[in-house]
Amino acid sequence: MSYSLQGASGPWEVVIGLEVHAQVISRAKLFSGAATAFGAAPNTQVSFVDAAFPGMLPVINRECVAQAVRTGLGLNAHINLVSRFDRKNYFYADLPAGYQISQYQHPIVGAGTIEIELPDGSTKDIGVTRLHLEQDAGKSLHDQHPTKSYIDLNRAGVALMEIVSEPDLRSPEEAGAYLRKLRTILRYLGTCDGNMEEGSMRADVNVSVRKHDEAFRTRCEVKNVNSIRFVMQAIEAEARRQIDVWEGGGTVEQETRLFDAARGLTRSMRSKEDAHDYRYFPDPDLLPLVLDEDWVASLRAGLPELPDAKRARFMQAYGLPAYDSGVLVAEQATADYYETVARGRDPKLAANWVMGDLFAALNRTGRGIEDSPVSAAVLGQLLDRMADATINGRIAKEVFEAMVESGRDADAIIAERGLRQVTDTGAIDAAVAQVLAANADKVADYKGGKDKLFGFFVGQVMKAMAGKGNPALVNEALRRHLA
């Protein structure tokens, strides 16, 4: 059942398009040699080009172009071998030149697609309209002085990729899935760290509503939403506002709005009438950007395996279900971790342990897979000890918890705690005999036909052996004794 919002007049479909600004991972800015590291002291990463001093000229950073092309290739998009930079003119204190260098008419990357996975396991292709390169502005700090604004130009001139989707999204969940998938792809490619809190990925959300099968109605743009959760909330809030306007007999006006996360509302920022006239024109300081086909091909050849391909491979090579594969490939580090654990071992067991006990432990300890207290090699060792019957599954859980706490490996913990499972049939027979003797009534019931009591006997024997009995041998001994 597709998503809709219920209004007084019936259900409304929500139409969403996203414009994502992704900060390019590069050592230097788009048109200057200044550094780009996050968190440096204000105005320490600013060249005379970034500060737009008289006579300064932009020179394109080749690596930023390569990153945009890699991203385009990762989005299965058309790479435009000739693109152009335009000036977007407006005045603001943190925009030193009075214009932003962007790509308005001729972006470096054309149409592509992103496949999103929906909770019901289905997938949907979302169109990417274009990707273009542009400069970021600086930052205005209005809260540092009672009457003055402070300007930090560290960010001014940093390369951004603006990635524009088609209005193909139909629910907050789809928008969330799109952003997560885009972030995954960017991280796999190493072209953007996707960190929305630090602002290295920001989203503008275009929302409209319509009745089923109608043409699109007027959209509003909700600017600069800085988390996936807020994007989803903003969509619903804005869609509900628009439904109220339409159903109240009004007309939704095209405008730019801001999301107030505290109140869960969107507020008008500027109307169409107040919209800037950006006076775009080709930047005469820059020649058209012409890419060599061979260079693009070499970038393509250097791309890592991307999430969709990896997911397909996990399903095929490891026999994992689609859902498990999707979870494991969501982060490159998780996929790498999984593959290390699975190599030469039971891939399904490996997936269960990574997605089950490991994820739980990471959640509990608040750590990421990159700094997991249990390394992939060590988890693999634990699986090996189960495979070679040194320990059984239950003991393995205990060992794993000890590994999380101590950071030590499985063998050390098994040895130290004497958790090696008992395979000595003499000891097992003795334990079985003891349990059966102590439960003569139940033995009688079992022999009278209550088969289910077999499990009870297994449990009792394991308990008597402090959990260390080899389950297969215990079963076999019990069967023998009860026969």
Partner 1 sequence: MTALTDLTLTAARDGLARRAFSAAELTEAHLAAIEALNPRINAFITVTAERARAQAAAADAALARGEGGPLAGLPIAIKDLFCTEGVRTTAGSRILGPFVPPYESTVTAQLRRDGAVFLGKANLDEFAMGSSNMTSAYGPVANPWRRRQDADAVLVPGGSSGGSAAAVAGRLALGATGTDTGGSIRQPASFCGVAGIKPTYGRCSRWGIVAFASSLDQAGPFARTVQDCALLLRSMAGFDPKDSTSAELAVPDFVAACGRGVRGLRIGVPREYRSDGMAGEIERLWQQGLDWLREAGAEIVDVSLPHTKYGLATYYIVAPAEASSNLARYDGVRFGLREDGADLTELYERTRGAGFGAEVRRRVLIGTYVLSAGYYDAYYLRAQKVRALILRDFTEAFREVDALLTPTTPTAAFAQGEKMDDPITMYLNDVFTVPANMAGVPGLSVPAGLDAQGLPLGLQVIGRPFDEETVFAVGSVLERAAGFDALPAVRAGVPG
- Taking CB under 8 A as the criterion, which residues in 35-74 touch partner 1? 48, 51-60
Whether 354 contacts 337, CB under 8 Å: yes
Minimum Å gap between C-beta 278 and partner 1 is 8
CB-nearer residue toward partner 1: 287 or 472: 287
Whether 474 contacts 462, CB under 8 Å: yes
Q: Work out whether 98 is an interface residue with partner 1 (CB under 8 A).
A: yes
Which residue from 18, 30, 97, 369 is in contact with partner 1, where contact means CB under 8 A? 97
The DSSP H or E segment spanning 246 is helix 228-247
Minimum Å gap between C-beta 99 and partner 1 is 5
- Taking CB under 8 A as the criterion, which residues in 300-329 touch partner 1? none
Q: Work out whether 91 is an interface residue with partner 1 (CB under 8 A).
A: yes
Q: Work out whether 87 is an interface residue with partner 1 (CB under 8 A).
A: yes
DSSP letter at 422 equals: B
Q: Work out whether 286 is an interface residue with partner 1 (CB under 8 A).
A: yes
Q: Work out whether 285 is an interface residue with partner 1 (CB under 8 A).
A: yes
Total residue length of the chain? 483
Q: Work out whether 277 is an interface residue with partner 1 (CB under 8 A).
A: yes
DSSP letter at 371 equals: G
Minimum Å gap between C-beta 191 and partner 1 is 23
Q: Work out whether 93 is an interface residue with partner 1 (CB under 8 A).
A: yes
CB-nearer residue toward partner 1: 101 or 376: 101
Q: What would the two tokens of residue 149 be?
A: 């604004």
Q: What would the two tokens of residue 17 be?
A: 């398009």
Which residue from 279, 417, 447, 479 is in contact with partner 1, where contact means CB under 8 A? 279
Q: What would the two tokens of residue 54 be?
A: 């008289």
Whether 237 contacts 231, CB under 8 Å: no
Q: Work out whether 281 is an interface residue with partner 1 (CB under 8 A).
A: yes
User: How many binding residues for partner 1 (CB under 8 A)?
Assistant: 30
The residues, ordered by sequence, that sit 6+ positions from 436 with a Cβ below 8 Å of its Cβ are 443, 457, 481, 482
CB-nearer residue toward partner 1: 151 or 431: 151
DSSP assignment of 9-61, as one string? TEEEEEEEEEEEEEE---SB-SSS--B--TTPPTTSS--TTTTT-TT------
What gap in Å lies between CA 259 and CA 262, rounded to an integer? 9
Which residue from 17, 20, 21, 99 is in contact with partner 1, where contact means CB under 8 A? 99
CA quadruple 382, 388, 392, 398: dihedral, nearest 10: -20
Q: Work out whether 151 is an interface residue with partner 1 (CB under 8 A).
A: yes
CB-nearer residue toward partner 1: 277 or 441: 277
List of residues contacting partner 1 (CB under 8 A): 48, 51-60, 87, 89, 91-93, 96-99, 149, 151, 277, 279-281, 284-287
